[in-house]
Chains A and B, each alone.
Chain A
Amino acid sequence: MSILATKDTHVVIQGGPAGVNAARRMAEFCYLIKRPINVSAFVYPPDAGKTNEIIYGTDLITIPVYKSIAEATSNHPEINTSLVYIGADRAYAGAKEALDDPRIQVVSMITEGVPEKDAKLLGKHARKLGKIFNGPSSIGVISAGECRLGVIGGSFDNLVACKLYRPGSFGVITKSGGLSNEIIWICSQFADGITTAIGIGGDAYPGTDYVSYLEMFEKDPQTKAVVIVGEMGGDLEERAAEWFAAAKRRIKLLAVVSGFCQEALPKGMKFGHAGAKEGLKGEGSARAKAEALKKAGAIVPETFGALGPAIKRVYEELLERGEVRPIPEVSPSELPRLPKTVEQSMKEGEVLVTPLIKTTISDDRGDEPLYCGYPASELINKGYDIPHVIGLLWDKRLLSKQEAEIIKRIIILSADHGPCVSGALATIIAACAGIGMSQAVAAGLIMIGPRFGGAVTDAGRWFKHAVDNRMSVDEFLSFMKKNVGPVPGIGHRVKSVRNPDTRVKELVKYVKSLGIPTPHLDFALEVEKVTSAKKENLILNVDGTMAAVLVDLGFPVESLNGFFILARTIGLIGHWTDQKRQGSRLIRLYDYLVNYAVPKRREVPPLQ
């Protein structure tokens, strides 16, 4: 047996993420005691109509979210309890809605910082209806082996350590959430554990106080003794003492009270709990409370540390008198264990998982990304530049200063080529159509291919093929004519021998000035000599020059188009931003720019 939260408790949780988290903890407890999950529904208007998925063992349980309590209880008529996880400014309305539902008998409020007046009104309303309003700022209620409301009891390991899977003989009532767990632990270490533990919340005027719960414990035959943790302020402990002394009680009462330090501290000091404050005239001091409880016949240890041994003595007396029997210990192997996550199991070396993908360049598992093993921040601090990052991520090596300078120049030279080229035009049309940056830039990037900017890889591939196979220029050109077609990297739409491309000239001049071996560039220039003699515009273009130089630097052929894509992205972002800044409007092609080679208007024949 137990009180307040039992095997027959079915819960609706009012609130969002905090409520979902509580439901997970409650599901863990249900799993431990081998009972179905006791949360039937959520009420959270922003998510109404959706569901929350709660892990139960290895299953995922789908729990619906409703707009109102009435909707929840009519769909789940078993609901008799509500947990309130709503913000302090709306908690009153939420709890009132739950109390007013005829099916709900218990409302427990976890919300902290609820105005005192609201809590009093809810308490009064509940009493009038003959229901229980527990809280505010209650950690929850747990009945060993039966029911958990809220996160009280802590982690799964703690539930097991505190033997919460089966009832003991001690009831617990505390204001503090942390101490409820501590007392549950003490009861499991020094005695046979708990029946029910209730957090009533640390506010000055909890909706339901010690006396109401002491009365319920008194009527619960399984509970033989009750431990309460009091603190200075208010008169709840005095009222408990009064109740205990008023008649012969079946249960034993143990109590500790905090706040003796107040005698040595500045008056009016505020502790962690709102209710933990002596009255203006010194009433409600820890000493007065401890004295009242002692006088009423309660066992009141001098310190918190003495509580465990005091509980032990009570338990031993109960054993001696035959009021309780020793509970045979359950071996941990008989208890359900929380399934491990894949991560936990891997950490403990229990499972082998075949990786889905493999990376050889980048690692984000630490506190910062590593590029081929080098921390990004260290690269910054030691003066490395963007070309070095390209070297690491595209070719897995640290470039020299010289190599980095070449790459920097390549990027600068190919960053943009005006608004008329395919890529920029596509981006500009997209920008004018109101398309966002990533899509508009992607529209420009899509244009990069065999006829625009995408010849770098192919040029590199064939120059490399020629050099690797020690072809002569003539051999190469006839090979290309036979097997491939026009030589990628050779030829320009507007530039020619008489109108040379300055970018190519400058790049070639710089690379040659370094005195490094450039077999592919040399070969490409030889090819140009032959082709441009045949036709003026068959010059080595930017793609071909970049390709030859990058192959000379040792970059893999597959990566070469990346240099143009990367560089031109700078320009495309510029064009998009430029149009955006101008507030450009939708554009369309003028019809005089189209050759309408179409049939004249004619009549549509009847459909056959």
Chain B
Amino acid sequence: MAKVLEGHGMGLLRKWGLHTPNYVVVSSTEEFEQLARANEWLQVGRLVVKAHEALGSRFKLGLVKVGLTLEEAKAAVKDMLGKQVEALTIRQLIVSEMVEHQDEYYAAVKSTRDGADILVANCGGIEVEANWDRVKKLAVEVGDSPSDGALLSLVKDAGFSEHTAGRMAEFLKKLYACFDNEDAQYLEINPVVQRADGELVALDAVTLLDADAKFRHPDWNFPFAAEFGRPYTKNELEVMEVDSKVKGSVKLIEIPGGTVALLPAGGGASVFYADAVVARGGKLANYAEYSGDPPDWAVEVLTEKVCSLPGIKHIIVGGAIANFTDVKKTFGGIINAFRKAKAEGKLEGVKIWVRRGGPNEKEGLAAMRALRDEGFDIEVFDRYTPLTDIVDMALATS
């Protein structure tokens, strides 16, 4: 799942015929001044200014301002741009028109095993979270489209009055078309509001797309946003860059403040290693994983980043018994990076724990064992030691 920022999500909704408030995405005060002269709606109505970044709880951080006149909006733009929130600098803002409305509604489409659920409630905003039982659901099988009749009875079931029911059914039909055709995995509009002219408008959009489908959407010309409320770090971006170039995969997420660094093989095994560290009371310094027989240089880049994590005491080079990842070759990349890190003094006081099996395991493990002669603090185990025992041993020593 890949998260898309609000402006790009709004663009996709419009593409499929849904109404959104007028909005502009700005990255400088000059740009906003120019846009204000060019767009009448910016001059006459009330405005909303929000940070257009991958950030949670923007309200609390003071990065959402509502009900502004143009002059107030200009001040807000000037104030918010360049603001620092931890490692993130606010570089983009979305300025949209405030839509006067009475009632708020909720609409969403969510991927399920058999297709998707269309969700709707005749309340919206924070009210819907307190009244989850008012959300009504229509399951649509993959490859099918919801019928007009089914949508109409869904919205009636959700308690929409006669004169909005038709419009809401139409809104949901378009929302589903957007979901289905854009390879979305989750679309949530909260709130949907009714404009004075009766038209339903999507005020805010949560958009998660299927990144794997990018190859058939040439118009997805926007970057995907990090999903955990902070932007990617430099090291993470560098590993993602490598990941996108190679056969197999390398992955890294940094977790500040941890002491146990992970460098395991396998999308499945790596999570068991993370679990083992947490279960033993250890503090993870990262999540990492390499799999699918990646080239040794890609594993080397990943290892360099792991060795650079500040304050680490252990590196867990774990892994199950590989099917086709060459242990000797991938360990070659790890060993290169270990040597480099040691020469740079990065592995001072760090203990390395290895457990692995798979093609060429004997040679790979022997090469790791040989690092002891070079002065590395390293313990090496083979397939006869259960998967996560090295974590137990590591945490027993500290």
Known: A120-B115, A178-B319. A264 touches B278 (CB 8 A): yes
- Tell me whether B332 is interfacial, beta carbon within 8 Å: no
Known: A182-B269, A272-B271, A303-B276. A121 touches B143 (CB 8 A): yes
Q: A73-126: which residues lie under 8 A (CB-CB) from chain B? A: 88-89, 112-117, 120-121, 124
What string of 1s and 0s marks CB contacts (under 8 Å) between B362-378 and chain A? 00000000000000000
Known: A178-B268, A229-B268, A258-B271. A124 touches B276 (CB 8 A): no
- Tell me whether B292 is interfacial, beta carbon within 8 Å: yes
The reply to whether A261 and B284 contact each other, CB–CB distance below 8 Å, is yes
A175–B271 alpha-carbon span in the complex (Å) = 12
- Tell me whether A332 is interfacial, beta carbon within 8 Å: no
Q: Which residue of B lies closest to A232 (CB)?
A: B271
Q: How far is the CB of B143 from chain A (nearest CB, A)?
A: 6
Instruction: Please tell me which one of the listed residues B210, B251, B272 contacts residue A116 in the complex, with CB atoms under 8 A apart.
Output: B210
Q: Which residue of A lies closest to B266 (CB)?
A: A178
Residues of the A chain whose Cβ atoms lie less than 8 Å from the Cβ of B386? 186, 304-305, 308
Instruction: Please tell me which one of the listed residues A88, A154, A267 contacts residue B359 in the complex, with CB atoms under 8 A apart.
Output: A154
The reply to whether B274 and A261 contact each other, CB–CB distance below 8 Å, is yes
Known: A115-B212, A124-B141, A181-B322. A273 touches B268 (CB 8 A): yes
The reply to whether A305 and B387 contact each other, CB–CB distance below 8 Å, is yes
- Tell me whether A280 is interfacial, beta carbon within 8 Å: yes
What string of 1s and 0s marks CB contacts (under 8 Å) between B132-159 and chain A? 0000000001110000000000000000
Residues of the A chain whose Cβ atoms lie less than 8 Å from the Cβ of B111? 116, 204-205
What string of 1s and 0s marks CB contacts (under 8 Å) between B108-131 and chain A? 000101110000000000000000
Residues of the B chain whose Cβ atoms lie less than 8 Å from the Cβ of A235? 113
The contact size tier of chain B is 35 or more
Q: How far is the CB of B132 from chain A (nearest CB, A)?
A: 9
Q: A381-423: which residues lie under 8 A (CB-CB) from chain B? A: none
Interface residue count on the A side (C-beta < 8 Å): 67
The reply to whether B357 and A185 contact each other, CB–CB distance below 8 Å, is yes
The reply to whether B320 and A115 contact each other, CB–CB distance below 8 Å, is no
The reply to whether A271 and B266 contact each other, CB–CB distance below 8 Å, is no
- Tell me whether A260 is interfacial, beta carbon within 8 Å: yes
The reply to whether B142 and A179 contact each other, CB–CB distance below 8 Å, is no
Residues of the A chain whose Cβ atoms lie less than 8 Å from the Cβ of B249? 272
Residues of the A chain whose Cβ atoms lie less than 8 Å from the Cβ of B251? 270-272
Q: Which residue of B lies closest to A260 (CB)?
A: B275
A287–B320 alpha-carbon span in the complex (Å) = 23
Q: B222-248: which residues lie under 8 A (CB-CB) from chain A? A: 227-230
Q: How far is the CB of B270 from chain A (nearest CB, A)?
A: 6
A175–B266 alpha-carbon span in the complex (Å) = 11
Q: How far is the CB of B189 from chain A (nearest CB, A)?
A: 14
Residues of the B chain whose Cβ atoms lie less than 8 Å from the Cβ of A272? 249, 251, 266-268, 270-271, 289, 291
The reply to whether A269 and B321 contact each other, CB–CB distance below 8 Å, is no
The reply to whether A120 and B142 contact each other, CB–CB distance below 8 Å, is yes
Instruction: Please tell me which one of the listed residues A139, A232, A263, A264 contacts residue B323 in the complex, with CB atoms under 8 A apart.
Output: A139
Q: How far is the CB of A141 from chain B (nearest CB, A)?
A: 12
What string of 1s and 0s marks CB contacts (under 8 Å) between A146-165 and chain B? 00000111110010010000
A233–B392 alpha-carbon span in the complex (Å) = 26
The reply to whether B229 and A266 contact each other, CB–CB distance below 8 Å, is yes
Q: List residues of B whose CB falls within 8 A of some A CB.
A: 1, 111, 113-115, 141-143, 180, 183, 185-186, 210, 212-213, 215-216, 227-230, 249, 251, 253, 255, 265-272, 274-279, 284, 287, 289, 291-292, 319-325, 357-360, 383, 386-389, 392
